Structure 1
Amino acid sequence: MSKISIVTPCYNEEENVAELYRQVKEIIENLGAYDYEHIFIDNASKDNTVPILKGIAAKDKNIKIIVNSRNFGHIRSPYHALLQADGDAVILLVADLQDPPEMIKDFIKKWEEGYKVVLGVKTQSQESPAMFAIRKMYYNFINRVSDIELTKNNTGFGLYDKQIIEILKEINDPYPYFRGLISDIGFESYKIEYVQPVRKRGITKNNFYTLYDIAMLGITNHSKIPLRLAAMLGFLMSAVSLLVALGYLVAKVIFWNSFLLGTAPLIIGLFLFSSVQLFFIGIIGEYIGSIHTQILKRPLVVEKERINFSATTESSSALVNKRDQVYSNQI
């Protein structure tokens, strides 16, 4: 019998985790032909999320829990949990119920038809229209500058075959852009459209910084165009500056007494070039920061505890550390 793994990252979702558990359990049981596990990875919640999950896990051994030692962010924690799943197919499903659990049936159906990747794609959202429009513009932008074609309006919600998970385990990326990695692997994906419902309970944990973080991660991991744009724009502006300087020189020589240089062009030029330089220094800084993160090779997360996992199960982060140690010894 095939096994389905459901992976749910959560942080301060005490109002949603029990309802999500109930809905997923009902859907899988109605399918009838699958074993399943539901892995909740908690990012050191400060509310009652973990006690609620422990109460559920005590009654249902299909529920597995990983509790992180601290909040490792919305990028590393879900990815770590995906690597712990041992199902024949793994479904990433957030805890806030904005990824409709009923789509699990559609994902599995397409997986049975042979697709290794089945993705949920938001065509509309009942959340803020302005935020949805900004996200759409970002996806359009990153597809223009990226070396690969990324799936627009997909947050990672979808089904991934065990073969995909095994490939991800070999990549060993300490700060992965998951959506980009799925596109980079290259397997054909089937896309199922849906309308994202409004969050009914609790508040979103995303803010400007977290959204900016993942946006820049997508750019730095999958495009060199901003760096090349900086070089090309620098050359172009240098050429323009030279032409302007020559024009001023000729005008001054011809109209020596009547042509006044003035301070306005100097001030405007100074602020223009300074702002352009600062912008591209920031872009370069993002790439350097990405390199720095890769070099540190820190584990995705540090686990505080795990519940209902087999005693022989070894975390993916431990395996990565062992592999790095072997490589170091060989050098």
Structure 2
Amino acid sequence: MNELISVIVPCYNEEEALPYFYDEITKIEKKMDNFDFELILVDDGSKDKTLDEMKKLAQLDSRVKYISFSRNFGKESAIYAGFKSSRGEYCVLMDADLQDPPALLPSMMNAIKCEGYDSAATRRVSRKGEPPVRSFFARMFYKIINRISDADIVDGARDYRLMTRKMVDTILDMPEYNRFSKGIFGWIGFKTKWIEFENVERVAGETKWSFWKLFMYSLEGITAFSVLPLQLASVFGILFSFIAFVMIIVIVVRTLLFGDPVSGWPSTICIIMLIGGIQLLSIGVLGQYLAKTYLETKHRPIYIEKETNIVDYD
């Protein structure tokens, strides 16, 4: 009996891309005829006809399964739902826009079956077609998070990754509400082979990731896997307290010697504003961590399922 590969595809407004994706993944399935496939499409509250396209594919192919959320919960929730519903000995996570080339799947499977890896992950070696500013900040994010956290995140890493069932089950054992999958993949360890490829443009539709969304997502990753921002807030507090103590002594001595207590008020105002800004920044950092703790303690579901064709789905 052939082993089963679960292909998990988070979708948000991918009505145009889904038919192209299905055609390409079907070609790869035929080449890998020594494996069985199930295709799990997760509709993350799309506003177009993505769900209708999923249903059409499910009618044409019994291997196609779909899950539809009650609203947009985000890609991380869609990834978790896909993992939770998968039945395969192997799971592969990929996007519907074909920026994750399905043609790499045979070599990814070879890395696991023949080379002894637990997962085969992909990374882009170029960012052709991407705005230079966005590429610069992306590279800076990878450098920063690898220095301040225990998560091993390779520069240019994609979510496109083939994993063994053991690795997927380990991920599911981490049911945290605030999820950052790239960090989770790196944090749990397991032996991973990185497969490089050139950047590929979307086959259809438009990207859903604006610069602002990517920036907020990067903050999610930093606060999820590092407490350094909190430590820096403490360092700033100690530093400016020391500076303030020194300046008090300087002012007292200068007043006693020269009798000029009011000179330099513009610089004093600037210093007050600087210290006030640092204080507000530190409070903001603390608020980010507190907000995450608050959301975790609510124990709300990671997603809410509205509709699915998966039988006996938990």
| Inter-CA distance 66–19: structure 2 relative to 1 (3 Å threshold) | same
Matched, 1:186 2:189: yes
What's 1:269 paired with?
Answer: 271
Q: What's the CA shift for 1:174? A: 2.1
* Match in the other structure for 1:110: 111
Residue 260 of structure 1 deviates from its aligned partner by 4.8
Q: Give ranges in structure 1 of 5+ residues lacking alignment.
A: 316-331
Kept after mapping to 2: 8 A contact 1:76/1:175: no
Instruction: Structure 2 unaligned segments of length 5 or more: list them.
Output: none
Q: Does 1:147 find its partner at 2:150?
A: yes
Cα separation, 1, equivalents of 2:247 and 2:97:
57
Q: Would you say how many aligned residue pairs link Structure 1 and Structure 2?
A: 311
Q: Which one of 144, 168, 174 corresponds to residue 171 of structure 1?
A: 174
Deviations 1:4-49 (A, max 9, x none): 1111011111110010011001111112110001111001212121
Number of the residue aligned with 2:62: 61
**2:86 equivalent in structure 1:** 85
Residue 135 of structure 1 and its aligned partner are, at CA, apart by 0.7
Deviation per CA, 1:210-239: give whole Å up to 9, x if none: 323321221122111111111112101110
The CA distance in 2 between the partners of 1:64 and 1:121, in whole Å, is 27
Please say if residues 180 and 222 of structure 1, whose CA atoms lie closer than 8 Å, have aligned partners that are also in contact. yes
Contact 1:42 1:66 in 2 (8 A): yes
Shift of 1:153: 2.1
Cα distance per residue 1:53-78 (max 9 Å; x no partner): 21111010111111111111122122
CA distance in 1, matches of 2:207, 2:151: 30
Question: Would the aligned equivalents of 2:12 and 2:44 in 1 still touch at CA under 8 Å?
Answer: yes
Q: 266-275 vs 245-254, which deviates more?
A: 245-254
Relative to the length of structure 2, the TM-score reads 0.94
Alpha-carbon offset, residue 247 of structure 1: 1.4
Matched, 1:15 2:38: no
Report the 3-state secondary structure (helix = DSSP H, G, I; strand = E; otherwise coil) of the residue aligned with 1:6. Answer: strand
In structure 2, distance between residues paired with 1:164 and 1:86: 13
Once superposed, which parts of structure 1, at least 4 consecutive aligned residues long, lie more than 4 Å away?
Answer: none
1:218 to 200, 218, 221: 221
Q: 2:200 aligns with which of 191, 197, 201?
A: 197
Q: What is the alpha-carbon distance in structure 1 between the residues aligned to residue 7 and residue 223 of structure 2?
A: 29
Take 1:169 and 1:262, find their aligned partners in 2: how far apart are those partners? 60
Amino acid aligned to 1:163: K
Computed over aligned residues only, the root mean square deviation of the Cα atoms, in angstroms, reads 1.5
Over 3 Å counting, the alpha-carbon distance change for 1:293 and 1:213 in structure 2 is: farther
Q: Matched residues, percent identical? A: 29
2:142 is matched by which residue type in structure 1?
Y
Letter in 1 for 2:274: L
Whichever residue aligns with residue 154 of structure 1, its letter is A
Decide which moves more: 70-79 or 18-27. Answer: 70-79
Q: CA deviation at 1:264?
A: 0.4
Distance 1:198 1:110 in 2: 26
In the alignment, structure 1 residue 314 sits paired with structure 2 residue 299: no
Report the equivalent of 1:74: 75
Q: Point out the more displaced range, 283-292 or 179-188.
A: 179-188
CA contact (8 A) 1:16 1:96 kept: yes
